[in-house]
Amino acid sequence: MELSMEKKIVFIAGADHSGSTLLGCILGAHYESPFKYIHVGEIHAFFDVNKKNYGNSKLARNSFYGKIWDEINHEVGYQNAYKEIFEKTEADIIIDSSKTDRNLNIAEQACLESNYSMHIIISFRPFAKILQSDLRGNKSQKYILTNLSRYFDIKNKFVDKHCPYTIVNIEDLILDPRKMTIKLCQEVNIPYFEGKENYWNYPSCHLYGSKTQRLHLNNPSTAGYDKEKVLAKPDISHPFLEREDVLELEKFFLENSLKPE
């Protein structure tokens, strides 16, 4: 099948615990079949032979569309993942929340080879809250610093090199999910429909990523947006958070994030 010139990858960059899966699930929420845009989750986990879930489609939820993974050949390898998904589905847009710079490089290469377009979304959350989530997960200091330092790489790659990007402050999204979802859909040219922000009410085929979103998709009665958690101030201190360059970096993402109005 010859691929359309209109195929697009929406790549969500960010850190772990930054809300990247949430963004992907919202953008991928769809109620019509065949789906023209799909959130695949962390695509690398299915196609990379070095990953523990290589070729394992069992974590795809909401089988109405999750069965798509039974048709997709993971043996084509990560370098050919996007082409394989486009060829085996009727989707025009793949939403990939794989986050890291290494994974983005593979997505960019796929765009060059197959003439796909790309839109990059940066999933941002205040650093203290990301760090707090990492500590609750018993992550090591090395992991925590590596995870948060991804935002330096993100700024260097997209901002300083003048690449197109959209920054989404996850806290703004949680506080005003409808307006922020409408704005986000406009940014990436995905149609908005009433209630799209409540992604748990719609089928999903995403693989891997946040346990929270997986829980919401499996049991919609648990779903919702916890505004009180967003408004609560994190009771945490760490030398990384007090660095001048880190404070400037966080200020940049806050000031340049998408606004609901």
* Domains parsed from the chain with CATH numbers: 8-255 (3.40.50.300)
| Residue of 192, 189, 162 whose CA lies nearest to 180 | 192
Residue 25 CA, chain-centre distance (Å), reads: 8
The pLDDT, as a whole number, for residue 261 is: 73
Neighbours of 153 (CB within 10 A): 14
Q: What is the pLDDT of residue 4?
A: 45
208 backbone φψ class: left, alpha, beta (φ>0; ψ -120 to 50): left
Estimate the crossing angle of helix 81-88 against helix 101-114, to 10 degrees.
60
- Per-residue pLDDT, 3: 41
Residue with tokens 């109405």: 64
Taking the CA atoms of the chain, what radius of gyration do you get in angstroms? Answer: 18
Largest CA distance in the chain: 55
Quick one: pLDDT at residue 59? Answer: 76
Mean pLDDT by 10 residues, the chain (261 residues): 68 94 95 87 91 85 74 93 94 94 92 94 96 91 93 85 86 96 95 96 87 87 92 89 96 94 73
Confidence (pLDDT) at 206: 87
pLDDT of residue 225: 94
Using alpha carbons, list the distances in angstroms from residue 52 to 77, 176, 182. 14, 37, 36
User: What tokens were used for 53?
Assistant: 């879930």
Q: Which residues pair with 179 in a beta bridge?
A: none
What's this model's pTM, rounded to 2 decimal places? 0.93
Find, among 230, 215, 170, 232, the residue nearest to 197 by Cα. 170
Q: Closest Cα partner for 258 from 144, 123, 138?
A: 123
Which tokens hold the place of 134?
């990492």
CA neighbor of 110 nearest in space, from 125, 98, 127, 123? 98
